Structure 1
């Protein structure tokens, strides 16, 4: 059942304080400043869909900000758990995070990290739908995630258009469904967003890219499609593209990662996502690791801890901390 909070029945002098608390319950604690004089009006509804938190906000002009003080006061497990995607359905917004300033108009997406300070300025009455995704469910490296946080994604082309269309349909009316179906829908949003982030980490996609760039894209795509193959390695990748291993390594010289390291990173990301979604009755940690090409459980545990700061079992057991309590 959706949580609905509105200022409609609140005395005028108490509305802004009530609204601040309402946003804190539906989203995360933040400061709120009204952008006009007179009684403030706002309504927010919040509900869950699998691992997602979805909120619809309609309100008067305002500026909201999440400050270092909010992060310090947050519980450790909740301080940086969510990546937020806001779909601007009416009005405009300016997002500031990590020194970036981005303007969003109707139909655009703003992307930000609730675990770092940010502000959103709405200069006139607006409506937005906000989706909070657990960071661990994304299974992305911090440096890759920071490529899109603090930015605006237009809904006119590429994965941005696909994500906007999907979120528009999904959040317009969150369908009542069985927990298993809700989990699948939530996972679909997470996977689509992770794919968008991955697409933005790859260079050479613009028109005019040279032959080597296109080959590099094909190699990366081949790696992603064959991660579950335990035989996947630089030699098999080179053979599949009819090039030498030496030339394959040359292609990756400017990528900041070796072929073998990329394969390991992508496998770890898949494992992290699957571990987050699974529970004690699902596949074992070793089975998940083996499915994604890690034949040695001890080696998998070492490289996973090195990448994520937790053992695979700790990562799975910590998933309950990422889900809102109501």
Structure 2
């Protein structure tokens, strides 16, 4: 949707209608209404909606009047791709590019974009957000730093979820949405300052998840849903249990494959097997990715790891 389709004098009213339909009702203000321009593109990601918005400097305001016109409660994970902006939502905050903030549509909200803006907005239904733990809703109104531990990972992940990417992604929507939920849960735990304590039942399930990932790591197309189905739990339960230990499925799968590959490279029993074949046996479907992972984790290529072991054996 674009303001280009309407005359300049009608653009602010048109844009307010667009936002009310796509996001939430807002009152829009602009110092030069006739020069105002904005564009919006959305794509569904399961229960989530990913919306890219860009355009002219403006202010947006949601008061009780606008809240009364809304279609129901929703949460919005918002980030600016290009400039700092100011928000008043449970207090006034200045937010830098790449930082994230979670907005509750049932609370008053004011934002100021002092220049041409480029925003990404992820609309999250309350029922979806609730499945990732009570701590997640507690992020409302808080800055999620782009340089904190899990905040950095979440910011990087969200920045890739453009509508264009969603429309052409080779992955299932549920996989992308579950990864977002897991990262939100991990970030909420981190920013709450609470330790990630787990009950005996959760620790037991965590061990079973680790064991199942290790057993099935050689499957190049293995997903969290596959592991969850094998353990007779839901995908969200699996992600929440991993999050309780500060982990993600992708992280654990990569770790299992890397450890298996290193063991083979450091064993004489596999000297007759090429390094590319070892990568394949460990579950890496792409040889260059295998080399990058091993170099990143060990500081050496697969071939160098094997050679270091042979030199050490020769010296002994």
2:163 counterpart of 1:154: no
Q: Which protein shows a greater Rg?
A: 2
Cα 1:202–1:177 shift into 2, 3 Å: same
2:191 is aligned with 1:200: yes
- 2:286 equivalent in structure 1: none
User: What's 1:30 paired with?
Assistant: 26
Contact 1:89–1:128 (CA under 8 A) maintained in structure 2: yes
Residue 111 (structure 2) pairs with residue 120 (structure 1): yes
CA contact (8 A) 2:59 2:113 kept: yes
Q: Deviations over 1:125-180 (max 9, x none)?
A: 11100011122212269973454211222211311100111111222732336998
Which of 91, 94, 107 is the equivalent residue of 1:103? 94
Distance 1:164 1:193 in 2: 10
1:70 pairs with one of 46, 55, 66: 66
Q: Deviations over 1:97-136 (max 9, x none)?
A: 12x1111122221221112221111111111000111222
TM-score by length of 1: 0.58
> Which is helix-richer, 1 or 2?
2
Structure number with greater CO (CA < 8 Å, separation at least 6) is 1
| Residue 85 (structure 1) aligned to one of 77, 102, 112 | 77
Q: 1:39 aligns with which of 35, 54, 67?
A: 35
**Is contact 1:95-1:110 (8 Å) kept?**
no
Give the distance between the partners of 1:192 and 1:56, measured in 2 at CA: 21
Deviation at 1:62, TM superposition (A): 0.9
The structural deviation recorded for 1:61 is 0.9
Classify the secondary structure of the residue corresponding to 1:107.
coil
- Structure-2 change in CA distance of 1:140 and 1:51 (3 Å): closer
Unmatched 5+ residue regions in structure 1?
A: 204-216, 230-282, 293-326
Classify the secondary structure of the residue corresponding to 1:174. helix
User: TM-score, normalization: structure 2?
Assistant: 0.59
Runs (4+) of structure 1 moved beyond 6 Å?
140-143
The aligned residue for residue 165 of structure 2 is 174
Using the alignment, how far apart are the partners of 1:23 and 1:59 within structure 2? 13
Distance in 2, matches of 1:97 and 1:179, equals 36
How far has the Cα of 1:195 moved from its partner? Answer: 2.1
What corresponds to 1:191 in structure 2?
A: 182
